[in-house]
Structure formats: C-alpha cells, structure tokens
A and B are shown apart, each in its own frame.
Chain A
Amino acid sequence: MVLNSSTFNFKDGRNDDTFLSIIVNRRFFIITAVILGLAWLGNALVGDALGRFAAAHFGSTIANLGGSKVPDITEFVAARLTDALWLTSLVWAGCVLIAAIGHRITKSRSQLAPWIAGVGLFIALNVWCLLAAQTALFWLILRGTSVENQAQFHTKENLMREVKIRPLIAVVGSSQSQAQFTAEIFNSEVAGKAWMMEFWYPGSGAADVFFVGERFSPKYVTDFVYYISFTNIYALGRDSSSARDLLRLRDLPQSLSIGAWRFFYPTTARYTALGMISPLFQYRASFQHALLGPTALPPKIVAAPKLTSSDIISYGFSDEAEYQKAAFRRFIEHSASKGQRVIVIVGQMNPDYEALLSPVIHQDFQDFLKDCAATYPNLTLVWQNELLVQPPEAYRDHAHVTPETSEKFSKAFAKWYLQHSLPSPKPIE
C-alpha cells in the first residue's frame, strides 16, 4: 500500500461524506503520527518514572483497577501506558487503512467494490481486535466496573505475563475452584515465594480445563492447581462456555481429536466455530456486556444452570464421562510435555449432596485419579481432607464454600505448598 498526497485528496467532487473525509484527512495523519512518535519516545524515556509516581500517589486505586492481581504497581502502570500507546497506534493504523481503502474504492467503478472494501474493513477490524486483545488495558476498558467472565479471564491472562515471581500458579476448574481459593490470601501467605492467579471458568468440566491449560505457555505458568470434584467428570449435558469464549483456530485439531464437538450444544458449536474465525465475534460477550449491560444478554449466556439434587442421581457412566476423562488425561500429558506441574486437589461437593452419589461412581472417580497419578509423574494428587475438613456448614450451596472456608482452605493449601514443593522460586530476570 502506497500512501501519497493523492491518497488523501478527497476534493475531487466525488466525496460527499464529510465525516469520513475528516477522519482520513492528510493533516490529521501527519499530526497524529508526530504526536504518537513523541509519545512512544516519552514512554521509553520516562515511562518507568511515571509508573513510580503513580504507584506512590494512587497505589491502592490502581491495585483495585487490576483486581488485586498486581504484584508490582509501578510495572503495572508502566505497562498500561505502553498498552495505551499500542492501542492508539493501532487505531491510527486502522485509520490509515480506511483512508487507503476509501481511496481505492472511490476510483473503482465496480458496484461490488464497496462490498469488497466493506468486508476488507471488517477483516481489518478483526485483526485490530485480535491485536488489541493482547493488552490488559483493552480488557480493563471493556470490563468496566462490573464483572464479566471473558473480560475477567483475558485481563488476568494479560496481567499474568507481567508477573515475574516464579512458580506462577494458575488455578483452573469451575466456579468451585474459584470458591475454594482466595488468591490474595494464598499470595500473602507464601510471601513472594510463589504467585497464584485464578483462571477458572464457570461450569468447567475436565475438557474445559484442557482448553484453558492449552493457552498457558510454561514461560509463564509453571504449576496448575485444579480443584476437581466428580461433577467435573460425570455431569451430563454440560455446556462449554469456555469453548465458546476461548477456543482459537489453532485449538481446532486438539478439540477435534478429543471429540469435543460431539458434546457441544448446537448453539455452542456455532458460536465456537464463528469465534474461531472472528475475534470480534468471540469477544461478543464482553462487548455486549460493555454496551448493553448484563440484562441485555440472551439467557443462555447470562444464567448458568444451577445444580439440583435430582441432577446428581442422574450422574453415571456415559460417553460424556469418558470424554471428560480423556480430556483430563490429555491435559496432564500436555502439561507434562510443556514441563508444567499439575496439582489436582481431589475435592468434594457439599457432603449432604455428595451422599446422594452412587458409591460405584465415587469409587470409579477415585480409581481414575489414582491411575492418572501413577501414570503421569507431573501430577500430584492432594486429598481435600488432608488440607481441610469441610462439613456441610462450610458450604453456601451444593458446591461452593463460604468465604470463611475459602480463607481457611487457601491458608491450608499455602502451607501444604510451601512444605511440599518444590524447587525454590527463582525470579525471572
């Protein structure tokens, strides 16, 4: 693409769309390019100083913005400044592209040219979105003040790359994992010897954990902690929101090889496939949340089905359970191949609820996990009761513990982690 003076010359009488002409004005590009260049230069020279200044004056506010996932506020601020510049540069590049495409189609006489250009712009917007999504700032803006799973996950995923403490522990699993662990407490207990971040996804089964695990390079995540209970394997008719929100095109072979698509709901399969092609589509839940608020989302996206006592009675051996087991094995194997450790906490549901489960299934669940532990050296099994006994009063519903229990459990796990692990932490240079 060659940009020259004629690219920005829209005074040929064929352009009546004033608004677009303003956007693609030549002076606009030159001035903004200079400003951007200066900003990048300034960032390189005084970015860290600005970070220190902000950390000193607005430390707690910024920590809240980062959702308490920020070990170093100075670096957080500096990285967000870089994010802001990167996003602005991307917008600038997008405008240049619009100008160039606008110029091309103004010259073309074909009636289909606007269609080609429109689709081209749409593809460019998708690329823009993909690149912008590599910054935490993009997700922080999208997330706003409320909580939305996808934006929350991506925010933490981006922030994780800035954490220099090792081992870096990713907590994976369903909302049960989230309820069990309070990362802030764990992190304060281990006092800089490790760093925990939560990457749970609502309603996750073992297959969802596999999808999530695939995203994390050993460069960042050294350990996975997975709080597993039998629902993760034996629940029937599970909808995979993690697939819809997170699967990338490059995950397609893996998802096909474990037979995941057989168990997706038709809507989930459609949304996952479209999301693999278009990042704009994949991030729709976050965009919708930001634009319309949670009430405007279709019910399937808003409300995950709640467990009832009758659910557990229907649990049993099924193709779906076999698929979840295969996915679990694949998760451990892949982690091993990447050199990542997996600590699986053999968890439980509310004991009142768990008592309804067939003992045969219970036994099968335990046998399966023991067999995996014997097969894969990177897998460590920890039994829930070794850490903390959780009576029915420790739960606020069928599956999720109270915040007090979560606090106790996180402390117990921190103690176990320090005792049993693991090589001494080495900060990354």
Chain B
Amino acid sequence: MVFNSITFLVFCAVVFPLYYLFPFRWQNYLLLAASYFFYGWWDWRFTLLLLSTTSIDFWVARQIGHSNDHAVRRRFLTISIVANLAALGTFKYFNFFSTSLQTVLHGIGLSADWPTLHVILPVGISFYTFVSMSYTLDVYRRELAPARHFADFALFVSYFPHLVAGPIMRASNLLPQCSQPRVIKRDELVNGLWLILIGFVKKIVIADHLAHIADSGFREQIPPSADANAWWFVLAFAFQIYGDFSGYSDIARGLAKLMGFELVVNFRAPYLVTGPSEFWKNWHISLSTWLRDYLYIPLGGNRYGRFKTYRNLMATMVLGGLWHGAGLLYLIWGFYHGTLLCVQRAGNEIFGSRAPARRLLVAAQIMGFFGLTCVGWLIFRAGSCAPGIRSDILIWNFLRAMATPPTTLLPIAWAVILLGSLGMVFQATHRKMDLFVDWSPRQQAAGICVALTLLCILGVFDGSQFIYFQF
C-alpha cells in the first residue's frame, strides 16, 4: 500500500478514528494489526519475514539483557546479526553476489554455473532490518533495556509510517513512545497536517512530474534530442529523488504526529550544502547516522590514524551504497561519495576547514558541489535502467554531454526549472517547515491554498511507488 493511493485513504479513514477512540494498550494492538495489514497489502508472505525478524530480535535482546556473561551476550548478538544479514543477503544480495562471482570465475577461465534464486525482494527490507538490528546492538551496548512487551517491540519495528522507507528509527527513540501512553497536542496535530500536505506536494507534484522527464532521458543509451539536454535529465532526477524520498519522510512524520508519535527528521536542505560531509549530515540523516554509529565508529572512526580513517570512510560509504541496491553501480556510487569525503577530508587537513567568508564563494561552493552530487545521481540512476541498456555507455554518453553546459531551453527545461525551483524553495525553507504554526495565520492559509492548488493542477495521481521502496 502506498501513501498516494485511494486504498491508503480508506485505510486511514478506518485506522485513525479507531485509534482516537481506543485506550492506550488497544491503540498499540490496533497499530500493530494495521501495520501488518499495510505491509501485507503488497504480499502477505512478506509479513512472515517481518514477523520472524521481529521475533528473533525480541528473543535475542531479552537473552542479551538477562545475561552478564560477555561471551553469552556476544553469542546472542552474533545470532541477531547473522539472522538479519542472512535475510537481507538471501532476499536482496544473493543473486548479485552469485552472478558477480560467476562472472569473475568465467573471466579467469573457470566454469561456475549454479542457479539463481527466484525470490521477490520484500519491500523495505533494508529499512526494517536496520531498525531491528539497531535494537539488539543498543541492548548489547547497554544503551537500552530490552522491551518488556512483544507487541510494543513489534510495533516499533513495523509501525507503518516508517516501515517501508524510513526514517530508520532507533529503538532508544521510538520504543519508549510505543511503551508509554501518547499525548496528542494540538500544535503537533497541525504540524502533522502540514507535513503531510508538503510531503504530498513533494511527491506527486515535483517528483512524479520530474520522473516523467528523467525517465525519458534514461530510456536510451544516448540522451535524446541534443547533448545539451543531458543536464536537464540529470537535474530532473536529482530533484525527483529528493522530492520522492523527503516527501515520503514528511508524510511519514506527519502521519506519526497525528498519532502522537515523533519520528526523526530525515532531510535538511541537502542540496544547499558546500561539501560531501555536510551533504550526508543533511541527506537521509537516519541512514547516515546509523552507518556512523553502527559501522564507521565501530570500525575505528577517525581514532586510529589517517590511513584507517580513510579506509573506514570508504568502507562505510561503499556499504552504504550497497545498502541502496544489489548492483555494481550502487557500489560505485558509494565509492564515489566515499572518494568525495576522503578528498574533502584531505583538503581540510591541508588547507584548513574554514568556511569562505564571502557569500559569493559559498554560493559557488554550493553550486559546485551540487554539480558533483548530480554526477553521483547519474551513476545511481544508471543502476536502474531498462534491461538491454549498457549503463557504462549511458554514463559515458551523459558525462560527455554534460561537459558542455546547456545551451538551449527546450520545453523540458522549463519544467525542470519550474519544478526544480519549487524543490529548492522547499529545501531552503525546510528548516522552518517544522514551524508552520509560527507563520502568521494568513500566511498559513495562503500556503494551504497554494499547496492544494498545486496538487490539483500538477499532481500525478497514478499511485506510483516511491523510489526508496525498492531498497
């Protein structure tokens, strides 16, 4: 079930009134049932996997919590990690690694033919696996006590607003909200409505329109029309993915607010930054902090010298890239961002990390880094091209075309400029977007009217999936 569907509207019309009527414990049962129903709407078999992941981690965390023996605790943590990674590996990465290995073996003249798995990739598996795994890791680190009630824990993992595309919630943040009665404040309710409205504008006005433009550019190995158009297609994708994913996060946060929950902020104007480090502090924040806390820092972070810091950065980003999809290009995308981070770090070590004083220089830095981000998105987008298209040729053709700046303003350019500018406005004001209630009432009323009008005129109501569902 996707947020931008009639089915979800009906789902909400049933769930929300009941939620407001029920007492606390029953609210949790209702939300748990609703979340499983929401997830099972794609394929009921997915819920079995979700339930088994949840059950294993609940049991493992209790065993860890009840034991003071370091070896026992470590053994149970291993069980949790192996179980989670096994599920992820089987459903998401098995075929990628097996075919990659076959290719390598063929390359060195060895015959290796083993069958590939014919399994459907469960929607959002990477998200809830990370959510669930972070819980056992936190319990192991004694940062969190194990959950008492299975229902509370199951709700934490499966809570429908964040289940399939994040934000990747931490148990220390969301589990207490599941275990205690929630208070719905009126200003939070209004903020929730705002977030939902803005989220829908981002998704079905900006992202879905730009998707049409970007898709038309990536349909062939050579960018259509003229070389000068290549930039427009990549820009369209850059704003599409921003609108799509941050729109989802906003809707998720808004829905949660309507139920008295608070989900973490996932995006903060990521295209208005001056470098890769700032980008990852503002793009998919819940993933980058997850990778920082559970991968980069355990690997040693920046504590063991220059070489290991670069190695840790690169390893974290490559695995982060692979988290997005089982494909070589996602890996390269991660490597690309890892390289950017290493270069920035090296630059800071040599030249110092002072921000330029002049606004013009800051603007130039923002634009320059946005260009580099777009090159990254080109690699990322090439990872999901239609079969039969050689992504290496496509990327090369695009890069060649992008070397010359756009010289023509074809109709698609106007669309990208208009919708992209809308995206930029949302980004620029994103930090203030949580403070709608601080706007004057007339500004709010005008904003609501404009948002509804944009939805009406430019919204694409075909129930298209969110990009990050596939991860």
A→B interface (CB under 8 Å):
14-17, 20, 101-102, 105-106, 108, 111-115, 117-119, 121-122, 125, 267, 270-271, 274, 278, 280-281, 284, 287-288, 291-300
Contact = CB atoms under 8 A, between A and B. Distances in A.
Q: With a 10 A CB-CB cut-off, give which of B6, B209, B418, B452 has the most chain A CB atoms.
A: B452
B79 to A, nearest CB: 45
A106 B441 contact: yes
Contacts of A299: 212
Given A17-B440, A17-B446, A118-B452, 9 more contacts: A114-B444, A115-B445, A121-B449, A270-B6, A291-B458, A292-B418, A292-B419, A293-B412, A300-B462
Nearest to A278: B456
Contacts of B213: 295-296
A119 B448 contact: yes
Contact of B412 (A101, A118, A274, A295): A295
A274 B461 contact: yes
Interface stretch (B100-108, B186-194, B284-292, B346-354): B186-194
Nearest to A265: B462
B456 A105 contact: no
A299 B211 CA distance: 11
15 contacts: A105-B445, A112-B190, A114-B442, A114-B448, A115-B445, A117-B445, A267-B461, A280-B457, A284-B456, A288-B457, A288-B458, A291-B418, A292-B209, A294-B411, A296-B415
Given A292-B209, A292-B414, A292-B415, A118 B444 contact: yes
B258 to A, nearest CB: 13
Contacts of A113: 441, 445
A130 to B, nearest CB: 13
B333 to A, nearest CB: 27
B453 interface: yes
Interface residues on B, range: 35 or more
A419 B336 CA distance: 78
A93 to B, nearest CB: 16
Interface string B236-274: 000000000000000000000000000000000000000
A231 B452 CA distance: 39
Contacts of A125: 449, 453
B411 A295 contact: yes
Nearest to B209: A296
A271 B437 CA distance: 32
A111 B187 contact: yes
Given A118-B446, A122-B448, A284-B458, A296 B412 contact: yes
B411 A293 contact: yes
Contacts of A118: 444-449, 452
Contacts of B440: 14-17, 106
Contacts of A278: 456
Contacts of B90: none
B78 interface: no
Contacts of A287: 457-458
Nearest to A115: B448
A181 to B, nearest CB: 30
Contacts of A300: 462
Nearest to B191: A111
A115 B446 CA distance: 9
Contact of B442 (A15, A111, A115, A122): A15
B453 A122 contact: yes
Interface of B: 6, 186-187, 190, 193, 208-209, 212-213, 216, 410-412, 414-415, 418-419, 437, 439-449, 452-453, 456-462
B449 A122 contact: yes
The 6 closest A-B pairs by CB, nearest first: A118-B448, A293-B411, A114-B444, A296-B415, A117-B445, A121-B449
B232 to A, nearest CB: 10
A121 B462 CA distance: 26
A321 to B, nearest CB: 27
Contacts of B190: 111-112, 115
Interface of A is mostly: helix
Nearest to A101: B445
Q: With a 10 A CB-CB cut-off, give which of A20, A115, A267 has the most chain B CB atoms.
A: A115
Contacts of B456: 278, 280-281, 284
Contacts of B449: 118-119, 121-122, 125
A101 B442 CA distance: 8
A122 B441 contact: no
B212 to A, nearest CB: 5
Nearest to A292: B415
Contacts of B446: 17, 20, 118, 121
Contacts of B441: 105-106, 108, 113-114, 117
A284 B205 CA distance: 12
A106 B448 contact: no
B38 to A, nearest CB: 20
B194 to A, nearest CB: 9
A125 B449 CA distance: 9
A280 to B, nearest CB: 4
Contact of B186 (A111, A117, A293): A111
Contacts of B462: 267, 298, 300
Contacts of A119: 448-449, 452
B448 A17 contact: no
A324 B458 CA distance: 32
A348 B353 CA distance: 76
Contacts of A291: 418, 457-458
A291 B414 CA distance: 8
Contact of A102 (B208, B445, B457, B461): B445
A298 B439 CA distance: 34
A115 B411 contact: no
A102 B449 CA distance: 12
A298 B452 contact: no
A284 B410 CA distance: 21
B452 to A, nearest CB: 4
A278 to B, nearest CB: 6
A101 B444 CA distance: 12
Contacts of A281: 456-457
A281 to B, nearest CB: 4
Contacts of A112: 190
A282 to B, nearest CB: 9
A1 to B, nearest CB: 16
Contacts of A288: 457-458
Contacts of A294: 411
A298 B460 CA distance: 8
Contact of A122 (B216, B418, B452): B452
Contacts of A101: 445
A280 B450 CA distance: 12
Nearest to B417: A292
Contacts of B442: 15, 17, 20, 102, 105-106, 114, 117
Contacts of A105: 441-442, 445
Nearest to A121: B449
A352 B246 CA distance: 54
Nearest to A21: B442
A302 B394 CA distance: 26
A284 to B, nearest CB: 5
Contacts of B448: 114-115, 117-119, 121-122
A114 B197 CA distance: 14
Contact of B411 (A14, A106, A292): A292
Contacts of A292: 209, 411, 414-415, 418-419, 458
